[in-house]
Structure formats: C-alpha cells, structure tokens
Homo-oligomer: A and B are copies of this chain.
C-alpha cells in the first residue's frame, strides 16, 4: 500500500507548511511537468505568497522523497511533476512550440536488468524523453 503525500512528508521528518501545500496543489493541478517559474507563477495566481527560493528548496526536497519527478528537455531548466497516484510514464516535446504530451508507456523493465548485469551498476532510475514536431508545427 502506498503512503499518502502527507504521510510521506511525515515519514521524512518534514512539516506540512502552507508553502508545501500550495506547491503540491499547483503541481497536482498541472498534469504535465512544469518549470519552477511556472510553479511560482501558479502560486502567485492562487494568491499564495511563496518565495521563488522556497519553491526551489521544496521541489528539491520533494524530489528526494520521491514525491515529485524532475524532467529535463534540454531547455536549460528543469520541469517537475507529481509522482503520487500516477503511473510511471514518459514524455514527448515538440521542437517547434515546446508542447509536451504524456506517453503512458515504458519499455525499459527488461533492459534495466540487462544493464545491471552488464555494468554491475545498481540501476534505480532513468530519464526518457522524445523529441519531434507536433501536427501544428511540422
């Protein structure tokens, strides 16, 4: 059985602050991974005053606890999405307009085993993103 977000915070010795509730709310409202600036903008729009630095610190903390996922599209910045309650998945981004779409698939289970045997690493994660051109941009 899976811990709730709040339980996971407690288990990590973290407090449930106004800032954290608000940041999680913004992330949960957005299905797709968003930038730190977009999280912050979402907080401002919700009339929640949270410093940008606090957003950075909490996203890093939530990532350590495994509650959010960092996604990099080679944009010069990271994007974040909530993990909780969602199936493992990947994304594709349009090189034209930057649009992102969820891909509810992952072909890497078997491969991970193989890599562990070949490299002697213990593999505990992977990043997989696709790039291309969306119907509007191509």
Residues of A within 8 A of B (CB): 70, 72, 74, 78, 92, 94-95, 101, 103, 105, 107-108, 111-112, 114-116, 118-135, 138
Contact = CB atoms under 8 A, between A and B. Distances in A.
| Number of chain copies forming the complex | 2
A132 B128 contact: no
A61 to B, nearest CB: 16
Contacts of A128: 126-128
A135 B134 CA distance: 41
28 contacts: A70-B74, A72-B72, A72-B127, A74-B78, A74-B127, A92-B115, A94-B121, A101-B119, A105-B111, A105-B114, A107-B108, A115-B130, A116-B132, A119-B134, A120-B134, A120-B135, A121-B133, A121-B134, A122-B132, A123-B131, A124-B133, A125-B130, A125-B131, A126-B128, A126-B129, A126-B131, A127-B127, A127-B129
Contacts of A94: 121
